[in-house]
Structure 1
């Protein structure tokens, strides 16, 4: 019994420490300032917040300082780049911290808080398993499309859909799935309990979702808005620093998927999933691509001049592709 009490005490202390860290950077004013924009995020693009928000805030501060502190004039000349919006990213991260604190408080206050926290863990596990099975082509094409294209943001609906998908493919994936039968049964049981407790009984309530569900959705909306705008900042950093961009605009501390998406997925989904993995090798070179090993003044041969011209041409082509990718220049038909 003493060991159990010690475990609870340790967990409580850790939760308090996390809340204290969030309190140190959170801002209700920032939350309210970005609330309308967060609510405007399309439901199909909402991402679950699986990041250390304190580390996220630190990464955002560093990225904004390195991009806008030294390159504001250059970045401001790029079409479709809102410098003011990018400069407000630290404030948006503070609003995200405030939204995350609301989720923590609702989890503690809600009678079903622990169940909801558990179903979120199970949902992540089921989705990762479904992704792995789809990547290994162990699911029918229709189910692969459901995993990658029709994922629902609602936690209970998504969890129920994943349970149904794994159950109807039980024979195909037997012995090959990282999810065991007890996980599926537990997820199904908890979803059922939560539906009863939320008064949903299998359908969404007309009166709106409880405060905990709304808090989770708003937190994820803030995270998605931050993630989208930070990606624009990263692209601007790539224009300034080339392949050294990650040293100046560090990636946000999110859990990366363990597997990639299959190439047979439709083009729209494939592009959105593959871009984070491919963007580093395809980032533009530095603004001054001169090679210190072979300065043009040391060897005035015609062959070296030709090679230098080819290097400049490749640099221009890469920059042109970068401008097309961020939407500054329209692609050729």
Structure 2
């Protein structure tokens, strides 16, 4: 059973002290009804939505179904046994609180001063949301890529540690260059300031540059971008995904670092890395001190950073036993 849900938290305080009211959190719930022993939190990538599986009703985002090889009956995250919650992350543009590019009468970005946030804020929002919907205990946390940063943050969290955490194709330190952040802010500014009150589609040159930025990203991930299906997906993403949103998420990634705390992790932590991933190669954890309940495994995949999504069976060999052998 796939359900799309949303709740508004009365308030949320960022770590730096900013407080916002009526904070929306949107998520997808898949599988069994939640119990005290079966809830798995699955955290998505930086430009993904929370729609790991394609919903049967309502709005369907361009990337819906990205987790269909990992989540479902008989998959690594077996929905015959688990209740899987996939929240849209803080700062995203698919229903959860985040910055939005939009034009007022003068073409200004009205959310340009959205509070700065980090990976720790994303996890704190997830914890507040879980408590608000009555979830006090998790079976596991799983995070892919940007969601892996959050999964690491869950693992080192002393206030509400997950009993077991799996990280797919990620690292305990954020990657990226400051110049990328400046480019994203420039795209966001051009989107509206050039022609106040008009939409992104009116800015052909800027949209083309934004589309090309997506192509470069997917190529770095290891995706073949020349096929018609991918071209259509790129076009849809370029029109759907807000540059100011991606700037906020990229800033959070650039500021993330928790490798110093890995040695103190006292819960079960599984780190899965793909040998052909150029973004998060197996060497990203070389030399790091790990807790004695941490396991690092290398996946022999050919699809680079998107291997968990395109070659899920390779990851299931490690992920499924990690989840199932502890299942009550």
Q: TM-score range by the shorter chain?
A: under 0.3
- Which protein has the larger Cα radius of gyration, Structure 1 or Structure 2? 1
| TM-score normalised per structure 2 | 0.24
Greater share of residues in strand: 2
Does 1 or 2 have the higher relative contact order (CA < 8 Å, sep 6+)? 1
